[in-house]
């Protein structure tokens, strides 16, 4: 069934992620190629409520594919949680004749899109833009690859210092509810321990492992901690108390993981997803999140996408244990 979507709005919502600009560019140019009018909605759902909506042209998205952040800006919007806020937002879309939306963001953004489409019958397509890779229905999210590579580069540099001084470094990476950045960057940098929120940290096991390594004169240790686990400072305090001889340092990588030019992979998946979002609206496929599974486009109903979380398999955890031994 072909839909009659003629004017589409595109927005970025929630935390920014490298590659969002590549996705915006793909949506705008694919829409224009198919004879649609495309509008950029500034500052996510806030801009929708405030009617901060601008027409987009092919030139509007020139020279942005290599830039981090998002040219449309992003914000979290409490007003959109309320029905009145969504009603006002829909009224602004209707005035402009916008009859299709592409939302680039995480599960909170998709929750808003699902509500809006349910209440006002406007087709919405979600693109997973989050560095945490915590959304089920896709092998990768826009921004994850760049964030992990940023973390890997930083941890490699820290290891040089750890090695020069025989130090134990506890490095905190982003991931409040998901340990993917910690897991991938930890394995890629040969971390001795990786602490993630998906698995309860056994402090006794951690301390005993470090004591055993100290006996074997393995003095350089890197522990990668996801921010949603115990936090690097907390872990450091316990280790300093239990192993006073360890020269322990803490490094919190923080928001550097969010910024920077997107990797080739993030630019490619964002471009594919942006193109597929417009194609889906044309084909009449509504209220789905577009993902890539086994290198093929994969469509998950928005309702399901907000409920399911990407799970970390036990195999990964086993690999960590064996390779760090």
Q: Is 174 annotated as a binding residue?
A: yes
10 in helix, strand or coil? Answer: strand
**130: annotated binding-site residue?**
yes
Strand order in the sheet with 168-173: 193-195, 221-226, 168-173, 248-252
Catalytic residue at 314?
no
Rounded distance between C-alpha atoms, residue 253 and residue 185, angstroms: 12
Of 79, 82, 97, the closest CA to residue 43 belongs to 79
Secondary structure letter of residue 82 according to DSSP: S
Q: Is 16 annotated in some ligand binding site?
A: no
- Assign 3-state DSSP to the chain and report helix, strand, coil percentages, each to 5: 45, 20, 35
Residue 77 labeled ligand binder: yes
Contacts of 280 (CB under 8 A, 6+ apart): 125, 286, 288, 290, 299
190 carries a ligand binding annotation? yes
Question: CB count, 10 Å around CB of 219?
Answer: 16
To the question of whether residue 199 is assigned a binding role by annotation, the answer is no
Is 134 annotated in a binding site? The answer is no
User: Known binder of ligand: residue 32?
Assistant: no
Is 148 annotated as contributing to ligand binding? no
Q: Which one of 16, 121, 132, 166 is the catalytic residue?
A: 132
Nearest to 49 by CA among 2, 116, 97, 137: 116
- Tell whether 27 is in a known binding site: yes
In DSSP terms, 103 is beta-bridged to 11, 126
285 marked ligand binding residue:
no
| 167 labelled ligand-binding | yes
* Feature table: binding site for ATP: 15, 76-77, 106-109
* Feature table: binding site for Mg(2+): 107
* Feature table: binding site for ADP: 25-29, 159, 190-192, 216, 218-220
| Residues known to be catalytic | 132
* Feature table: binding site: 15, 25-29, 76-77, 106-109, 130-132, 159, 167, 174-176, 190-192, 216, 218-220, 227, 249, 255-258
* Feature table: binding site for substrate: 130-132, 167, 174-176, 227, 249, 255-258
């Amino acid at each position: 069934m072909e839909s009659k979507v003629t004017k589409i709005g595109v927005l970025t919502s929630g935390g920014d992620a490298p590659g969002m600009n590549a996705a915006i560019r793909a949506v705008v140019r694919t829409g224009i190629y198919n004879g649609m009018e495309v509008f950029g909605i500034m500052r996510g759902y806030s801009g929708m409520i405030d009617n901060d909506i601008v027409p987009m042209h092919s030139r509007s998205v020139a020279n942005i594919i290599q830039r981090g952040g998002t040219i449309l800006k992003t914000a979290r919007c409490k007003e959109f949680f309320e029905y009145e806020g969504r009603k006002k937002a829909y009224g602004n879309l209707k005035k402009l004749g916008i009859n299709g939306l592409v939302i680039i963001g995480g599960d909170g953004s998709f929750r808003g899109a699902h509500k809006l489409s349910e209440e006002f019958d406007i087709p919405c397509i979600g693109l997973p833009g989050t560095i945490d890779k915590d959304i089920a229905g896709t092998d990768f999210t826009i921004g994850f690859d760049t964030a992990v590579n940023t973390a890997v580069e930083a941890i490699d540099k820290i290891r040089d210092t750890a090695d020069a001084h025989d130090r134990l470094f506890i490095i905190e990476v982003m991931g409040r509810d998901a340990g993917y950045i910690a897991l991938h960057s930890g394995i890629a940098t040969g971390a001795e321990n990786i602490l993630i929120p998906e698995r309860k940290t056994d402090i006794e096991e951690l301390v005993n492992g470090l004591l055993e390594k100290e006996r074997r004169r393995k003095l350089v240790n890197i522990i990668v901690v996801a921010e949603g686990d115990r936090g690097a400072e907390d872990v450091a305090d316990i280790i300093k108390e239990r192993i006073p001889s360890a020269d322990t340092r803490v490094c919190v990588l923080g928001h550097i993981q969010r910024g920077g030019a997107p990797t080739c992979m993030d630019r490619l998946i964002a471009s594919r997803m942006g193109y597929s979002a417009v194609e889906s609206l044309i084909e009449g496929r509504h209220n789905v999140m577009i993902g890539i599974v086994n290198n093929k486009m994969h469509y998950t109903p928005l309702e399901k996408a907000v409920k399911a979380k990407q799970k970390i398999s036990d195999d990964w955890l086993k690999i960590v244990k064996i390779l760090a031994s």
